[in-house]
Amino acid sequence: MKVLVLGGDGYLGWATAMHLSSRGHEICVVDNYLRRKLNAQFDSEPLFPVPLLEERVTAWRTHGGSEIAVAIGDVTDWPFINNVTKRVAPDAVSHFAELPSAPFSMANQECAALVVQNNLGTTLNLIHAVHQNCPRAHIVKIGTMGEYGTPNIDIEEGWLEISHNGRRDKFLYPRQSSSLYHHGHGSLMVLRPRVGPVRHRPDAGTGLRHDHG
């Protein structure tokens, strides 16, 4: 399977790329190093130097025994992501190409605007690029409540029973996560292409299924 990993320079993106590569999948990682530039600007760089993607794929070739392709560019740049999806023709896209809400969006208006424009722009371009170039590809998008907002209602904890459009299900809230900031706020969204014509209903949206967990 061919997988495009957006945000492949991040600790989640790169770990995902190595994991999938080790299982025999054909991987291409994409990044524009924006997070590195912002970390330098805010004096919040890692305690030890992190190799660039080109150096990482060389090390992975030696120790992992397989290739990972690299495409350096900005997903908010339509020609770039359009060309990458057309060239790679992925079966799936793992979308990590977003900035976290903290600390950048809290610094000032300019940084907050950058976060919003980046996070919305990457997702918008990706959806259109996949629809245009590889419409049967699955999109797996990782995000947080920082994107969706926090509802002004009390939310119970534990196993919650959900009833919607005649369907019933149960899910655990909050889910365990890797940090206090993301505790209970993690969201995994899987966008699956609908087979056949799309009928537009209020609950249908784009005809893609969202799995949160």
For residue 173, is pLDDT > 60?
yes
Which CATH entry fits the domain spanning 2-154+183-191: 3.40.50.720, 3.30.830.10, 3.40.50.150, 3.40.640.10? 3.40.50.720
pLDDT given for residue 105 in this prediction: 75
3-state secondary structure of 158: strand
* Cα-to-chain-centroid distance, residue 204: 22
CA of 69: how far to CAs of 19, 62, 164, 193, in Å?
14, 14, 42, 25
pLDDT given for residue 192 in this prediction: 57
Q: Domain spans of the chain?
A: 2-154+183-191
Could you tell me if 24 and 105 are in contact, meaning their C-beta atoms sit under 8 angstroms apart? no
Q: Write the CB contacts of 12 (distance below 8 Å, at least 6 apart in sequence).
A: 96, 142
State the Cα–Cα distance between residues 82 and 104, nearest whole angstrom: 27
In the chain, where does DSSP find H-type helix?
A: 11-22, 34-41, 53-63, 78-88, 109-133, 145-148
Backbone dihedral angles phi then psi of residue 160, each to the nearest 5 degrees = -100, 135
- Shortest CA distance to 30 belongs to which of 49, 45, 10? 10
How much is the pTM? Answer: 0.70
Q: Give the model confidence (pLDDT) of 69-124 as tens digits.
A: 999 999 999 999 999 999 999 999 999 998 877 777 778 888 889 988 999 999 99
